[in-house]
Structure 1
């Protein structure tokens, strides 16, 4: 739903830009702004009822009962969560989370200040830097954490210290992406509207195309609730193809003009 919402402003922008010779940058920008504001409100409504349905589906007791055709590993893990004590106290988790946020806030600020220095001192295009390098560095910590968890659980299993790792794919990154697309993105759009710093949901055709392609591949891989190393290698290969293609991507000058005009009007 979130990805298809990003497709609509791009499709309309392409149609308006080619069909009307009298359309100006300001008029197109106003249209895109109205579409973005309306879509943001709708996305927040979708996020709200999707959370209600997820945690309280129709039927008595369905909120705590997994589907009967769910994978066996998923059913076993659900039983363990209901019957076993958690490995870490919740208050320890809360304190640790607050301490982590306190460390990450100045670190992120320092990284943001250093981004422009790195980009200006290299021959990397701004589009490739924003599409590939910056997100890759942002999620490097998650990748290292997942790799470390895999190594730890595997070693513990080999030494007989712990039961084998679960075979259920958590899809945590997908959950985070859904939350960002359905909640944080429209929230930021509406926040910019309220603070008179207008932002839009307009992306160019190349950006939306690779996003739809990535979502199609991820949906195909996770449709059976099981994954393997070949499917993971396929997704990594497609990411490398995106990075290779994006190296020659220079952006859409018309969209850049619309964004620039919005900054100037502020």
Structure 2
């Protein structure tokens, strides 16, 4: 049994534990820890169900499902936090997810994969396309913040309208990237729709049998996992401010470092496990694709939803968050440019993540 499956089974015990902690009032910190851990296996099951359904529906629809549900856990947590009015934490979680995917996930993948294989290769054109799109996303995040800090006074209405305009453009660009990756240039992304772990089944003659998941079973798992993640997210977000304040953590650190670790566990496990199997194509696609989804779709979608539900959120990020995202994108682009990776490059990405994490921890904001 794979490590991913073991984690998904063992940690499920925290789902009833966290519910008991919530309704029996076991304390804020206990609720925070147990619900945070409970989200991890649910995120893995949600991710696995998406992959299995994608196998049945085929590359095009499967790729679209992965694009939509790839970061469903992060989106659900962000929506619950946005509904609760924790806008600063939501913004921080957006930048944190981008930074953690580009530095932590790619770093761990290249490091552990590099220990097993001297040098690993992946398609540089995919990394370049994702890098170019990420550069646009950084530009879109930087501009609203720059407008505010380079002017004598900008009204809230102007910032809101600018954020809406940028959000619409970013969603349109993400739609174009989907058209590129799933339609006109799908052959560049032929790295496997799903990572099916374990032994391939074989018939009585020893021939391999194609993996055929039960569609309705996995659709049911997908629905149940999504509802369960939403439920646990309500519990988690309900105590996140009080718990992290008691631990001496700022909302900035909580959003940038802690929330991405909780919400992105499934992507982390997948990217690292396939890298160890020498499939850096899929590993890089998972890491960079997840960052792209958050930057070009999740962030602008939250802007539009926030306005609709009366919790207006703009794209005016903390300047240090903007700097961190710019650093992460620049370093990830430089390292992935040649289509090769080794353990040292992974160590460099991890070192950058640790330094940024320390900076966010000591940041007074």
TM-score of the two chains, using structure 1 as the length reference? 0.69
Q: Residue 124 of structure 1 aligns with which residue?
A: 249
Q: Secondary structure at the match of 1:199?
A: coil
> Which residues of structure 2 form unaligned runs of 5+?
1-135, 197-207
Q: Secondary structure at the match of 1:56?
A: helix
C-alpha displacement at 1:130, in angstroms? 2.2
Please list, as runs of the form range in 1=range in 2, the aligned pairs for 1:85-234 lying within 5 A after superposition.
85-86=210-211, 88-144=213-269, 149=273, 165-171=278-284, 172-234=286-348
Q: For residues 111 and 228 of structure 1, do their structure 2 counterparts lie closer, same or farther at Cα, with a shift above 3 Å needed? A: same
Q: Distance in 2 between matches of 1:46 and 1:141?
A: 26
Kept in 2: contact 1:169–1:225 (CA 8 A):
no
Q: Residue 94 of structure 2 aligns with which residue?
A: none
Q: Distance in 2 between matches of 1:190 and 1:232?
A: 36
User: In structure 2, which of residues 146, 149, 160 is the aligned counterpart of residue 14 of structure 1?
Assistant: 149
Kept in 1: contact 2:181–2:188 (CA 8 A):
no
> Which residues of structure 1 form unaligned runs of 5+?
68-73, 155-163, 252-266
Q: For residues 208 and 47 of structure 1, do their structure 2 counterparts lie closer, same or farther at Cα, with a shift above 3 Å needed? A: same
Q: For residues 189 and 230 of structure 1, do their structure 2 counterparts lie closer, same or farther at Cα, with a shift above 3 Å needed? A: same
Q: Which has more radius of gyration? A: 1
C-alpha displacement at 1:127, in angstroms? 2.1
C-alpha displacement at 1:11, in angstroms? 1.1
Cα deviation code 1:143-196 (max 9, x no counterpart): 35656x46xx97xxxxxxxxx653534321321221122122212212223344
Cα deviation code 1:95-151 (max 9, x no counterpart): 32223223322222221123123123222223222222232333345435656x46x
Q: Residue 155 of structure 2 aligns with which residue?
A: 28
Q: Secondary structure at the match of 1:198?
A: coil
C-alpha displacement at 1:54, in angstroms? 2.3
Q: Residue 50 of structure 2 aligns with which residue?
A: none
1:5 matched to 2:130? The reply is no
Q: For residues 168 and 174 of structure 1, do their structure 2 counterparts lie closer, same or farther at Cα, with a shift above 3 Å needed? A: closer
Q: Distance in 2 between matches of 1:47 and 1:84?
A: 36
Q: Distance in 1 between matches of 2:323 and 2:255?
A: 16
Q: Distance in 2 between matches of 1:167 and 1:197?
A: 40
Q: For residues 167 and 87 of structure 1, do their structure 2 counterparts lie closer, same or farther at Cα, with a shift above 3 Å needed? A: farther
Q: For residues 228 and 94 of structure 1, do their structure 2 counterparts lie closer, same or farther at Cα, with a shift above 3 Å needed? A: farther
